[in-house]
């Protein structure tokens, strides 16, 4: 294994880049260890076409929708919301039957965050869209202050990536990618619905998290091998390098931080790498430790539930001759892991309110994505495929 990891580090200099989407907060719940593993999702190769980002919002009931809405047409609790990176929409998905309705938000939406008031904040290529998830309507659009170039699609597009809300819901924080340059963290006043501050961060900040007390904001900067810690009161940034494999290969390296999750018990950041190393970072001191992981696959999405269970999405191997395929790792707070094999690349994950089901999006940021979600019963290990929008990345359970 040590020899294989040495070879992996050497490959970083010549490997193409891997990126991710931003994350959303998980529903609280107690995760159960699985007793069996069954693979159940398929792959697809659709790309989707984004329409003009400034177009008037519209609502589209999907052709495959079979879910029955309540008489008042309000969105039922437990509905899934996904960001359609391959289109210009977010899609509401019944967790049993599939898509209900799509709402236009802007070009190539990446990550999303949902507040207790039912509003979703969606990071697109040219603005943050605000969606009322109860009525499934876009109610506002907030352009970025940062000049990130023309709004485009694709893996390296500029614009919003990671996004998170403060615990009191008064601010939204969005990481804005500036192609070929350092990114920014934009602060949005959620009542006024306008950008109030911009803060310099690292390159491609496609994940944003907030501490439990709201005092700090964390931007995971993929291309600069770091996490930028920003005090919410002073907005002063502080860079912490996160590179357990080193920084050899620079922009061409695969071995970079992707997603982070804030551990509820102590506020430390959990950053999985390659299904081999879990970096446990104290953002206050800058000190970190490394714990072993077992999936041996390139990892993107990371989420943690209130009981401390970590979920990490494996997208697939860097080197098929050495590494394992796509998977979801469920890691309890004492470090015990259960790995659920998946078919085809996946990107991000959310967990049901009761902690019994995981929903893993198939809209991988690189090649091989598919238009759906893999649903995993965390007790039995059973999996099934669920249609869900166009190249879904960010996901939340409403």
Per residue in 35-94, pLDDT (tens digit) is: 322 223 333 333 333 223 333 444 554 444 445 566 667 899 999 999 999 999 999 999
- C-alpha dist (Å) from residue 168 to 232, 334, 355: 12, 30, 24
Please report the pLDDT score of residue 332 as a whole number: 97
Is the Cβ–Cβ distance between 96 and 174 less than 8 Å? no
Buried b (16+ CB within 10 A) or exposed e, 114-153: bbeeebbbbbbbbbbbbbbbeebebeebbebebebbebbb
Q: For residue 82, which of 143, 139, 140, 131 has the smallest C-alpha distance? A: 131
Is the Cβ–Cβ distance between 102 and 92 less than 8 Å? yes
Q: In this structure, what token pair is assigned to residue 104?
A: 């236009």
Q: In this structure, what token pair is assigned to residue 102?
A: 């799509």
Taking only Cα atoms into account, the Rg of the chain, rounded to an integer number of angstroms, comes to 19
Please report the pLDDT score of residue 2 as a whole number: 38
Q: For residue 257, which of 236, 234, 230, 288 has the smallest C-alpha distance? A: 288
HEC states along 240-292? EECCCCCCCCHHHCCCCCCCCEECCCCCCEEEEECCCEEEEECCCCCCEEEEE
Please report the pLDDT score of residue 216 as a whole number: 98
3-state secondary structure of 26: coil
Please report the pLDDT score of residue 10 as a whole number: 42
Please report the pLDDT score of residue 9 as a whole number: 45
Please report where in the chains the tokens 């700090």 appear, as a residue: 216
Residues (pLDDT < 50) of the chain are: 1-58, 61-66
Phi, psi of 14 (to 5 degrees): -115, -5
Element (H, E) at 2: helix 2-11
Residues in CB range of 107: below 8 A, 6 or more apart: 50, 51, 52, 53, 88, 124, 125, 126, 151, 152, 153, 159
Please report the pLDDT score of residue 398 as a whole number: 97
Domains of the chain: 19-52+76-244+254-397 (2.130.10.10)
């Amino acid at each position: 294994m040590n020899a294989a990891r040495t070879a992996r580090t050497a490959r970083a200099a010549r490997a193409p880049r891997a990126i991710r989407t931003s994350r959303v907060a998980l529903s609280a719940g107690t995760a159960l260890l699985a007793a069996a593993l069954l693979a159940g999702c398929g792959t697809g190769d659709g790309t989707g076409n984004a329409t003009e980002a400034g177009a008037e919002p519209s609502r589209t009931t999907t052709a495959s929708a079979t879910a029955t809405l309540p008489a008042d047409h309000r969105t039922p609790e437990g509905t899934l919301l996904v960001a359609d990176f391959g289109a210009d929409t977010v899609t509401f998905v019944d967790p049993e039957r599939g898509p209900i309705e799509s709402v236009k938000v802007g070009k190539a939406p990446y990550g999303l965050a949902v507040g207790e008031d039912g509003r979703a904040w969606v990071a697109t290529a040219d603005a943050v869209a605000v969606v009322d998830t109860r009525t499934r309507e876009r109610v506002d659009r907030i352009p970025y202050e940062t000049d990130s170039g023309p709004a485009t699609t694709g893996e390296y597009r500029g614009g919003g990536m990671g996004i998170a809300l403060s615990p009191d819901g008064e601010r939204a924080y969005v990481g804005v990618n500036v192609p070929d340059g350092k990114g920014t963290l934009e602060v949005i006043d959620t009542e006024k619905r306008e950008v109030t501050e911009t803060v310099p961060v690292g390159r491609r900040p496609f994940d944003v998290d907030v501490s439990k007390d709201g005092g700090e904001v964390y931007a995971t900067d993929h291309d600069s091998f770091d996490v930028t810690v920003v005090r919410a009161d002073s907005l002063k940034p502080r860079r912490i390098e996160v590179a357990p494999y080193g920084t050899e290969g620079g922009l061409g390296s695969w071995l970079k931080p992707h997603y982070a999750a804030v551990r509820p018990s102590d506020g430390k950041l959990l950053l999985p790498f390659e299904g081999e190393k879990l970096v446990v970072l104290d953002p206050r001191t800058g000190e970190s430790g490394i714990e072993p992981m077992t999936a041996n696959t390139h990892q993107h999405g990371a989420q943690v539930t209130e009981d401390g269970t970590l979920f990490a999405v494996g997208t697939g191997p860097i080197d098929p001759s050495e590494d394992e395929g796509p998977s979801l790792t469920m890691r309890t707070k004492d470090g015990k892991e259960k790995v659920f094999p998946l078919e085809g690349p996946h990107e991000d994950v959310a967990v049901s309110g009761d902690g019994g089901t995981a929903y893993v999006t198939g809209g991988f940021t690189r090649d091989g994505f598919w238009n759906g979600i893999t649903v995993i019963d965390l007790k039995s290990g059973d999996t099934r495929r669920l249609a869900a929008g166009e190249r879904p990345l960010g996901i939340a359970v409403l």
